Amino acid sequence: MTLISIKPLMTALIALMHPFFISVIEINHNEKEATLEISVRTFTDDLEKMISKEYNVQLDLSLPKQKEKADELIKQYMQKKLALTTNGAKSNIEYVGFEIQKESTWSYFEVKNVNQLKQLNVFCEVLFGINPQQINIIHVKTNGVRKSFELATPKNTTQFNF
């Protein structure tokens, strides 16, 4: 009985001793709408630190009074650190918004006029600079096919072919 109650405590302790630095970028091709739907999941505190470092501002994403400022800074930061080339053409990544779920922030974007996805080049430096162990995991899905790739400093680009 005692071992069962200690296990969650030990897991939490190990997590604190060995933090991980991962963001996840999901790119889904919506064939019906001819769009790329992009969601970027980061740890909220890491995103706040990087935006503060990048733009020399203090930011608390959880404060409703900073929502407008947060929207603009997340948009600027992500558009600087994430770029896509779709089927050979540079994509215009439009910011949709963000939401906080527990310790994570989900940032949402969209690329319009993507009827077919044959090739996707991804440049991604999201949270690079926060920790040398930062990893960005990228998942791309089109026509029921899902491919994934992991980017870690200094590698910041990859290509998906369908």
Q: Can you tell me the mean pLDDT for 145-157?
A: 94
Q: What percent of the chain has pLDDT over 70?
A: 88
Q: Are 110 and 33 in contact (CB under 8 A)?
A: no
Q: What is the pTM of this model?
A: 0.85
- Angstrom distance (rounded) from CA 140 to CA 119: 11
Q: Are 110 and 35 in contact (CB under 8 A)?
A: yes
What's the sign of the alpha-carbon dihedral 150, 27, 90, 42?
negative
What confidence score (pLDDT) does residue 102 get? 87
| Domain residue spans of the chain | 21-161
